[in-house]
Amino acid sequence: MTNSMWGGRFASGPAAIMAEINASIGFDKRLYAEDIRGSKAHAAMLAQQKIITEADAKEIARGLDLVLAEIEAGKFDFKVALEDIHMNVESRLKDLIGEPAGRLHTARSRNDQIATDMRLYMRELCDQTDAAIADLMLALAAQASEHAATVMPGFTHLQVAQPITFGHHCLAYVEMLSRDRGRFADARKRLNESPLGAAALAGTPYPIDRFATAKALGFARPMGNSLDAVSSRDYVMEILAAAAICAVNLSRLAEEIVIWSSAQFRFVSLSDKFTTGSSIMPQKRNPDAAELIRAKPGRILGAFTALAVVMKGLPLAYSKDMQEDKEPAFDALDAFALAIAAMAGMVSDMKPNPGPMREAAATGFSTATDLADWLVKNLHMPFREAHHVTGRAVALAEEKKLRLDQMPLADLQSVEPWITQDVFNAITVEASVAARTSHGGTAPSLVKEAAAQWLKQLKGI
């Protein structure tokens, strides 16, 4: 049996395997709301331009509302034989209103229809993602405000480097995530053009008003070239790229939470809400949410790569290959949305442990740079010489198994005779973080101020 929506050219139906590989309804049915919205705008424009009658346009709008209600009530029968969301909706519309349904597809093609649906869907996803990232930033900023003066070690090469505050560390991710929001905002701006009316590839001879449908659907303008309108999927790749970059940022934080919550670090504690147990080891509390978030970039980067490979050799305009844009994108972006939400919950849930963090911050001679800075500021040494003097002091402290701030003054003076008792006011971890007052530094006063600014911005105060 041929498909009644396009079967005039064909004498018989497709092979069963052809029908299976050709159908997309299994995954593009999630575009039903966008498809119906685009169809309503198109029908209204056709009536406005006197291409169809007002009566037919009203009947089409009424029928589309009935179809939408059926789908949302879970009563719609999606049929694989009708291939995709467009033909499923149109077929049911014909069942409901009869002949006027056949006029809906005037001056459009499934090519511009799916391009419109996808842009509407991706635009909404950008808005949802922006809100979700903002929620995560808010959770991090709240932790930063509460722990602006909570000392922890800062690392390079995962070795203790210099003392910082937990609030400062949280705000680093707030800054990173703000750039992620910017990437989604940029992608949204670029995708916000309407393909509707480009038809199959060349435009249409009907006197349509593409500006009217663009406005009705909230687009900034119609796309300027009909070939580009139906054949571009760069906006999907751009959103996947933005998601992949953000997921990498989330993964870095997830890895730190895994490390921080370990028995070896004990920097943070996670509640039962975001941990799981072991089937054999009753003592275990595993940070599974963080570990799963850590894994998500592979899935999202894979989706980007898959779509890039699909698109890389396609001539203009539409090819059926482009049907492969949806499954990986939908899967990846679903996983991404879940990861953001889980991370926001986990950040709000985690409890920093100031004792172990402060203890770790004092290890590894973390205030050695502060000693060098004291030599520069108080003895007017060139920094490179102060670096060498401090290196000798560290070697002596290591030999004596003491921290720098535990060293007797006489031992420090054996390295540099002009060191005075005042040096001990500069080489504690609290003094170290308090001294970092340059813009963007870890000084608690700066962290508190930055956290307050972010909280104000994120709450829209």
Active site residues: 157, 278
d(CA 73, CA 54): 29
Residue with structure tokens 């709301």?
33
Q: What is the 3-state secondary structure (H, E, C) of the chain?
A: CCCCCCHHHCCCCCCHHHHHHHCCHHHHHHHHHHHHHHHHHHHHHHHHCCCCCHHHHHHHHHHHHHHHHHHHCCCCCCCHHHCCHHHHHHHHHHHHHCHHHHHCCCCCCHHHHHHHHHHHHHHHHHHHHHHHHHHHHHHHHHHHHHCCCCEEEEEECCEEEEEEEHHHHHHHHHHHHHHHHHHHHHHHHHHCEECCCCCCCCCCCCCCCHHHHHHHCCCCEECCCHHHHHHCCHHHHHHHHHHHHHHHHHHHHHHHHHHHCCCCCCCEECCHHHCECCCCCCCCCECHHHHHHHHHHHHHHHHHHHHHHHHCCCCCCCCHHHHHHHHHHHHHHHHHHHHHHHHHHHHHHCEECHHHHHHHHCCCCCCHHHHHHHHHHHHCCCHHHHHHHHHHHHHHHHHHCCCHHHCCHHHHHHHCCCCCHHHHHCCCHHHHHHHCCCCCCCCHHHHHHHHHHHHHHHHCC
Are residues 111 and 226 in contact, defined by beta-carbon separation less than 8 angstroms?
no
d(CA 316, CA 151): 58
d(CA 3, CA 264): 65
Is the previous residue joined to 317 through a cis bond, with omega within 30 degrees of 0? yes
Rg (CA), the chain: 31
Q: Identity (one letter) of the amino acid at 2?
A: T
